[in-house]
Amino acid sequence: MKKKALVIGISGQDGSYLAQLLLSKNYEVYGTSRDADLSTFSGLKKLGIYDKVKLHSMSLIDFRSVMQTILQIMPDEIYNLAGQSSVGLSFLQPVETLESISIGTLNILEVLRFHKLPTKFYNASSSECFGDTGGKAANEETPFKPRSPYAVAKSTAHWQLANYREAYNLFACSGILFNHESPLRPKRFVTKKIVEAACNIAKGKKEKLTLGNVSIKRDWGWAPEFVEAMYLILQNEKPDDFVIATGTNLSLEQFVQKAFAFFNLDYKNYTSIDNSLLRPSDIYESLGDPLKAEQVLKWKAKYHVDDVIQMMIDNQLKEMTN
């Protein structure tokens, strides 16, 4: 019998790569979107796996919808990657962000508890929960100090899950993932915006790249590699939480500089700062300590930010010539 996996939020970057990974491990993969008939599932299509996944419509904030979907599929593993995923957008849509992430996670936990299901549950937590750690690498013991509505919502979901694991003995885990990028990122994510602009300018298009705070530092990894960690977290003997990161970071300005340097361009000639892109509050420096994942899961990032920039640019140029 094939194992069944339910990927909630399969239309996003991580959901698409996770579906690809699970299919390669001979899982029967089910995926949900709020409206499966209207979603484009462009990530699944780009990876060539759209026809290999069974898709369902499900609203995470509707308990009945969540319960019906889980009971219909009866998955061995659930990966919850859904909810409003943009930190910047969360300042404009704080209610939707909090509901989709915290109530959505609670609904899944309640279904597992109420029906006493043996399903293993992975929850996508976030490095944003740590806030600014003052240059120190955050590990699983670092206190949360959220600095955005998105981070508040993710922190809420994280502690809900920890409570249910302890109170009801659920196999429920959180992966506290630091930034991870890929060609499947939508353009509202700054890394995709930078790569696209650098490629366009290198090809002769006249455009300016406008950015907000370029002094922020982030721990950037490669998304296809990070979803492997999600899978390994649920294969661990006991339910636990793990920080997933590369352990190195870089400023946004350096990221821009490296992307433009790929084409021997000086980024200063093509970029400008737009104060309207500044967030009400931001994290100056973000850095993760993935030692526990390395020791327990035997997971370690092979790709760091220079590799990520190179692979994103290679893919962008390939798409532009197709």
**pLDDT digits 0-9 by tens, 100-119:** 999 999 999 999 999 999 99
What is the rounded average pLDDT for all residues in the chain?
94
Residue 285 CB neighbours (<10 A): 16
Q: Is 110 a catalytic residue?
A: no
Mean pLDDT of 84-111: 89
Walk me through the domains of the chain, giving residue ranges and CATH numbers. Answer: 4-180+222-244 (3.40.50.720), 186-218+248-286+304-321 (3.90.25.10)
Residue 58: burial class (beta carbons within 10 Å; 0-12, 13-18, 19+):
buried
**pLDDT digits 0-9 by tens, 207-216:** 999 998 999 9
List the structure tokens of 216: 């922020």
pLDDT at residue 279 is higher than 80: no
Q: Is 100 a catalytic residue?
A: no
Q: What share of the chain is helix, strand, coil (3-state, %, to 5)?
A: 45, 15, 40
pLDDT at site 88 = 79
Instruction: Please report the DSSP string for 196-237 in residue order.
Output: HHHHHHHTT----EEES-TT-EE--EEHHHHHHHHHHHHHSS
| Rounded (10°) angle between helices 190-202 and 305-321 | 50
Catalytic entry in 77, 128, 196, 225: 128
pLDDT at site 84 = 73
Mean pLDDT of 21-44: 93
User: In Å, what is the CA distance from 154 to each residue of 4, 12, 72, 73, 231?
Assistant: 26, 17, 27, 26, 20
pLDDT at site 89 = 83
Catalytic entry in 17, 79, 122, 150: 150
pLDDT at site 322 = 76
Mean pLDDT of 23-37: 93
Tell which wins on pLDDT, 276 or 179. Answer: 179
CB 192 within 8 A of CB 181: yes
**pLDDT digits 0-9 by tens, 205-239:** 989 999 989 999 999 999 999 999 999 999 999 99
Instruction: Calculate what percentage of the chain has a pLDDT beyond 90.
Output: 84
pLDDT at site 264 = 96
**Dihedrals φ, ψ of 202, to 5°?**
-65, -30
Residue 66: burial class (beta carbons within 10 Å; 0-12, 13-18, 19+):
buried
Mean pLDDT of 135-163: 95
What pLDDT band is residue 251 in, cutting at 50, 70 and 90?
very high
List the structure tokens of 245: 């990161």
Q: Is 150 a catalytic residue?
A: yes
Catalytic entry in 85, 90, 126, 286: 126
Least confident window among 28-42, 245-259, 273-287: 273-287
Residue 135: closest CA among 243, 293, 284: 284
What pLDDT band is residue 37 in, cutting at 50, 70 and 90?
confident
Mean pLDDT of 273-300: 90
pLDDT at residue 266 is higher than 80: yes
Largest CA distance in the chain: 60
pTM, two decimals, is 0.94
What pLDDT band is residue 186 in, cutting at 50, 70 and 90?
confident
pLDDT at site 271 = 93
**pLDDT digits 0-9 by tens, 61-80:** 999 999 999 999 999 999 99
